[in-house]
Amino acid sequence: TAPIRLRDYRAPAFTIDTVLLDFKLDPVATHLTATLSIRPNSAEAVLGRLELVGDETVLKSVSLDGALLAPGRYHATPSLLVIEDVPDTVFTLTIETIIDPSANTKLMGLYRTSGNYCTQCEAEGFRRITYFLDRPDVLAVYTTRIEARKSEAPILLANGNPGESGDIPGTDRHFAVWHDPFPKPSYLFAMVAGDLGVITDSFTTMSGREVELRIYCEHGKEGRCTYAMDALKRSMRWDETAFGREYDLDIFIIVAVSDFNMGAMENKGLNVFNDKYVLADPDTATDADYANVEGVIAHEYFHNWTGNRITCRDWFQLCLKEGLTVFRDQEFSSDMRSRPVKRIADVRTLQARQFPEDGGPLAHPVRPEIYHEISNFYTPTVYEKGAEVVRMLKTILGPDGFRAGMDLYFDRHDGDAATIEDFLAAFADATGADLEQFALWYAQAGTPQIVAKGQYDANARVYKLTLAQSVPSTPGQLVKKPMHTPIRFGLIGPNGADIAFDEVSGARVEGDVLHLTEASQTVVFGGVGARPVPSLLRGFSAPVRLAIDISAEDLLFQARTDSDPFNRWQAVQTLAMRNLVTGSGDVAAGRSPTVEPALVAALEGILSDETLEPAFRAQTLQMPSEADVAREIGHDVDPDAIAAARKRLRLAVCEGLGNTLFVRYGLLSGGGQFTPDARSAGRRALRNTLLDLMVAGGSRAAITAALDHFETADNMTDRLGALSTLAHAALPERQRALDAFHDRYRDDPLVLDKWLTLEASVPADETLDRIKLLLHHPSFAIGNPNRVRALVGSFAGANQTQFNRPDGAGYDFLADFVLDLDRRNPQTAARLLVSFRSWRALEAGRRARAENALKRIAARDGLSPDTLDIVTRTLA
Ligand code: HT7
Ligand code: ZN
């Protein structure tokens, strides 16, 4: 099919002012009557021809202004309803459709999950419910009436505030009406019905309004919703204090469901969540799960202003709501927890997920200009790089300028379907800044490379810093322009404090921000009294790759002294990465890799620095992953050589740190009763990281400590930490522990996902056969995306040596699985396929096998648009 292009955007020919939806729920034949008040958009209407889109939609009848239309008056297919001669004034269209929610395995539109009814409409799911102008620039006021058998669905929910409800006399049925006064696009519509448990609370807004809060979940899991409720109330307060944004309806509802294609959905007043981002208690959730629940609850809540009150004009503007809302949730979590630790975690995610996308065949701008299937554009580039672009805007404008721009954006565009141009204009108008060059961050794909070189002239007391930027070619974009990139920096003097400089030329420098705008700039700092060590890109102030000619001694010095915690972490990572890249080459060439003493010294320094928070020390002690090293090497990648080099390095670090590891591990034991706060979580993170390094040394004492850690754990973080160490080290002791873990949690699907993930992550030859067996295990279900991602997604996305087996069996397995899943759930299938995105960077043998597997998928007739789009672009 023809692609959709940004440049072809046209305002809709008609608009819809009000929508009345009347659902009569039935597991296999739900009946929906949709009554739409439609108005031609005078300038755009094409002489009375109305086209509404559908998707596998089954039409029963159409009426215009109350009169049933004869079949000759309209033309209907499952994907289109055309009425040729509609009035040129306001008219009412009534459409009856029949929906089979039980047959809906795509989990888009109206579907069933654990016996309940649920909808998912973003991006294009509403058209699977009724024919509609299913595009985000058509904003309507919705009233929803739901009718169902009382025993089957005692709970009936939709967007907005609750209205009338009651029994239907003489039947076993009841009904409820919901009204949402805020005009919204169809992708924000939601309806949920079923038999659910609930917890309730309330929130008083900054202007004193009472809001009722409810979280629904499967019966029996109510106790696991309390942390989510707490996170919701903290999010509501934070948006008031940090952005001046208040909640606007009388009620805010979250529903946790177990079958969901993504993390959660921000439907107005009725957020629907993948239950893994709601449910948490100490026995079943890790500290990472708690942090994720907090972050996702906040993210969806923040969409109420950035996404719902101001929505997107078209799907090319997706980053307008997603990048901005990710930035907002990251800031929220930074305020709730440790800012440096959160920043390191976010940068790690960006580098692990977005950098490979930006450097491979699926690269696209933060605001794409063309797509075939919009579901495939909910990407790390739109979300995470989109958030980085907003962060840079704040760095460039300063906190006050940023807040002024946000306030103007909210004032100007409340109730609008807006664009990136609108967003940037608000900041330019509020501050007077020229953002024309900065706007390239939205348009140019690819991770910029910045090469830095410093030179100190002691006689002249001058430090010269040359910065050269280049943006690599990406699909469809061969030539790029230099971008406006904010570089936070400091010049570290011999005593570890930043050195002052008295004048600067060659670039605009404001405070600690250097504005890089040209392809190459030499910045001259005067009055510099001693040779500095440059600390560039503090806090990772721009999503770039920085190459800097800096010695191991200077990196060790930086790791010990930099006043910016992010760059202390970065200095250690750079030392480790250099070791791993050289070591991988050594292994591939049959040489035995050596380990840089400066690295062990840097790690020792961080580990024993009691002024550093434990979570930060834990982050720093974790070496770059195998995938990180593969990305750094970038071509002819041999995953086995990388794994061997990493194993060797961790062994050497363990030996280098010696008994300190065991002593510090012992000192951290016995932390008292579990609480999920960041301080306690940091302590557990450090203890688990130390255990993992101890086991890397391979001693019996360490393995015994790991087994003991597993058996005596009184919370999931510690239990899973030890189990993960045993599994990732592929120790023979692992299987008994994995089996014990499975038996303990045999009735808890979300915990069994952790088990499936570990089973799939074992770096051993037998893992692929084990996965094939587990596909038939009662704890696995191909219909549930969480199960699929846990077993198959973890294998393809995280088990570098086994997915990339030299015989190609890992690729063949994924191809077969994707082909099978594609018939049932195309979105999830297409997302799994993304694991092939770096296939061209592999060494020749694996590259050829990966290409064969991809070609086999591409050759299959009847592929979904989702999978066809990914496979085509991956092979292009
Ligand atoms: N805005 C939500 C996107 C989403 C989604 C997209 C496609 C298919 C299914 C989906 N479920 C949710 C999620 C968010 O970013 O908040
Ligand atoms: Zn979002």
pLDDT at residue 44 above 80?
no
- Note the ligand closest to the C-alpha atom of 324: 2
Identify whether residues 60 and 176 lie together within a single domain.
yes
Tokens of 259: 């079958």
Flag whether 293 is in a domain: no
Residues around the ion ligand 2 (C-beta < 5 A): 322, 325
Identify whether residues 360 and 471 lie together within a single domain.
no
Which residue of 262, 278, 321 sits with most ligand 1 atoms within 8 Å of its CB, as the best mutation to test the pocket? 262
Q: DSSP class of residue 499?
A: P
Q: State the average pLDDT over residues 244-257.
A: 99
- pLDDT per residue as tens digits for the range 522-569: 999 999 999 999 999 999 999 999 999 999 999 999 999 999 999 999
Sign of the CA dihedral running 783, 785, 790, 793: positive
Ligand 1 close to Cβ of residue 124 (< 6 A) = no
pLDDT at residue 46 above 80?
no
Residue with tokens 């949402």: 180
Q: How far is the CA of 107 from the centre of ligand 2 (A)?
A: 18
What confidence tier does 672 reach under pLDDT thresholds 50, 70, 90? Answer: confident
In this structure, the number of other CB atoms found within 10 A of the CB of residue 772 comes to: 13
Ligand 1 atom nearest to CA at 375: 7
Catalytic residues: 300
- Phi, psi dihedrals of residue 531, rounded to the nearest 5°: -65, 120
Domain carrying residue 781: 745-876
For the chain, give the percent of residues with pLDDT over 70: 100
- pLDDT per residue as tens digits for the range 55-90: 999 999 999 999 999 999 999 999 999 999 999 999
Q: Which of 432-441, 641-650, 669-678 has the lowest mean pLDDT?
A: 669-678
Query: What is the reported pLDDT for 42?
Result: 75
At a CB cut-off of 8 Å and minimum separation 6, what does 580 contact?
Answer: 623, 624, 629, 632, 642, 645, 646, 649
- Note the ligand closest to the C-alpha atom of 320: 2
**In 720-751, which positions are buried (b, 16+ CB within 10 angstroms) versus exposed (e)?**
bbbbbbbbbbebeebeebbeebbeebeebbbb
Q: Specify the residue with its C-alpha closest to ligand 1, atom 13.
A: 265
Ligand 1 close to Cβ of residue 384 (< 6 A) = no
CB 835 within 8 A of CB 798: no
Which residue of 113, 265, 296, 828 sits with most ligand 1 atoms within 8 Å of its CB, as the best mutation to test the pocket? 265
Identify whether residues 98 and 70 lie together within a single domain.
yes
Identify whether residues 167 and 316 lie together within a single domain.
no
Identify whether residues 756 and 868 lie together within a single domain.
yes
What confidence tier does 1 reach under pLDDT thresholds 50, 70, 90? Answer: confident
Ligand 1 close to Cβ of residue 322 (< 6 A) = yes
Identify whether residues 7 and 153 lie together within a single domain.
yes
Q: How far is the CA of 643 from the centre of ligand 1 (A)?
A: 35
- pLDDT per residue as tens digits for the range 724-735: 999 999 999 999
CATH of the domain at 454: 2.60.40.1840
End-to-end CA distance of the chain: 17
The CA-based angle 353-354-360, given to 5 degrees, is 100
Looking at this protein, which amino acid is placed at residue 692?
Answer: D
What confidence tier does 345 reach under pLDDT thresholds 50, 70, 90? Answer: very high
Q: How far is CA 368 from CA 231, 364, 378, 578, 827, in A?
A: 33, 6, 11, 34, 19
DSSP annotation string for 92-137: EEEEEEEE-GGG--S-SEEEEETTEEEEE-TTTTGGGTS-B--STT
Q: H or E element: which one contains 296? A: helix 287-302
Ligand 1 atom nearest to CA at 383: 15
Identify whether residues 179 and 31 lie together within a single domain.
yes
Q: How far is the CA of 528 from the centre of ligand 2 (A)?
A: 46
Sign of the CA dihedral running 201, 296, 318, 423: positive
Flag whether 315 is in a domain: yes
Identify whether residues 59 and 38 lie together within a single domain.
yes
pLDDT at residue 45 above 80?
no
- pLDDT per residue as tens digits for the range 289-321: 999 999 999 999 999 999 999 999 999 999 999
Q: Specify the residue with its C-alpha closest to ligand 1, atom 1.
A: 265
Q: Please, is 102 exposed, middle or buried when counting C-beta atoms within 10 Å of its C-beta (0-12, 13-18, 19+)?
A: middle
Ligand 1 atom nearest to CA at 107: 9
Cα separation, 728 vs 646, in Å, equals: 12
SS (H, E, C) 614-639: HHHHHHHHCCCCHHHHHHHHCCCECH
Ligand 1 close to Cβ of residue 120 (< 6 A) = yes
Identify whether residues 477 and 421 lie together within a single domain.
no
Cα separation, 183 vs 180, in Å, equals: 8
- Note the ligand closest to the C-alpha atom of 297: 1
Ligand 1 close to Cβ of residue 123 (< 6 A) = yes
Q: DSSP class of residue 492?
A: E
Q: How far is the CA of 788 from the centre of ligand 1 (A)?
A: 18
Picking from 152, 174, 195, the residue at the C-terminal end of a domain is 195
For the chain, give the percent of residues with pLDDT over 90: 98
Cα separation, 217 vs 204, in Å, equals: 24
Flag whether 812 is in a domain: yes
Residue with tokens 């805007």: 393
Listed residue (781, 776, 818) closest to 796, CA to CA:
818
At a CB cut-off of 8 Å and minimum separation 6, what does 116 contact?
Answer: 153, 192, 193, 194, 195, 196, 257
Q: H or E element: which one contains 797? A: helix 794-798
Picking from 146, 169, 195, the residue at the C-terminal end of a domain is 195
Picking from 384, 411, 443, the residue at the C-terminal end of a domain is 443
Q: How far is the CA of 300 from the centre of ligand 1 (A)?
A: 10
Ligand 1 close to Cβ of residue 198 (< 6 A) = no
- Phi, psi dihedrals of residue 342, rounded to the nearest 5°: -65, -40
Bond before 417 cis per omega within 30 degrees: no
Identify whether residues 112 and 130 lie together within a single domain.
yes
Q: How far is the CA of 321 from the centre of ligand 1 (A)?
A: 11
pLDDT at residue 182 above 90?
yes
pTM for this prediction: 0.99
Identify whether residues 395 and 513 lie together within a single domain.
no
In this structure, the number of other CB atoms found within 10 A of the CB of residue 240 comes to: 15
Q: Specify the residue with its C-alpha closest to ligand 1, atom 10.
A: 262
Number of domains in the chain: 4
Q: State the average pLDDT over residues 225-241.
A: 99
Rg (C-alpha) for the chain, rounded Å, is 28
Flag whether 709 is in a domain: no
Flag whether 241 is in a domain: no
Q: State the average pLDDT over residues 756-761.
A: 98
Identify whether residues 164 and 135 lie together within a single domain.
yes
Query: What is the reported pLDDT for 43?
Result: 64
Flag whether 766 is in a domain: yes
- Phi, psi dihedrals of residue 177, rounded to the nearest 5°: -115, 135
Query: What is the reported pLDDT for 324?
Result: 99
Q: How far is the CA of 56 from the centre of ligand 1 (A)?
A: 21
Ligand 1 close to Cβ of residue 378 (< 6 A) = yes
Cα separation, 667 vs 149, in Å, equals: 59
Cα separation, 275 vs 80, in Å, equals: 34
Q: How far is the CA of 231 from the centre of ligand 1 (A)?
A: 20
Ligand 1 close to Cβ of residue 118 (< 6 A) = no
CATH of the domain at 358: 1.10.390.10
- Which residues sit opposite 40 in a β-bridge? 14
CATH of the domain at 761: 1.25.50.10
- pLDDT per residue as tens digits for the range 113-123: 999 999 999 99
The CA-based angle 206-209-213, given to 5 degrees, is 100
Cα separation, 214 vs 212, in Å, equals: 7
Cα separation, 430 vs 424, in Å, equals: 10
Cα separation, 299 vs 228, in Å, equals: 12
Q: Specify the residue with its C-alpha closest to ligand 1, atom 15.
A: 322
Flag whether 175 is in a domain: yes
- Note the ligand closest to the C-alpha atom of 315: 1
CATH of the domain at 141: 2.60.40.1730
Query: What is the reported pLDDT for 343?
Result: 98
Phi-psi region of 211 (alpha: psi -120 to 50; beta: other; left: phi over 0): beta
- pLDDT per residue as tens digits for the range 812-864: 999 999 999 999 999 999 999 999 999 999 999 999 999 999 999 999 999 99
Flag whether 624 is in a domain: no
Which residue of 270, 271, 301, 378 sits with most ligand 1 atoms within 8 Å of its CB, as the best mutation to test the pocket? 378
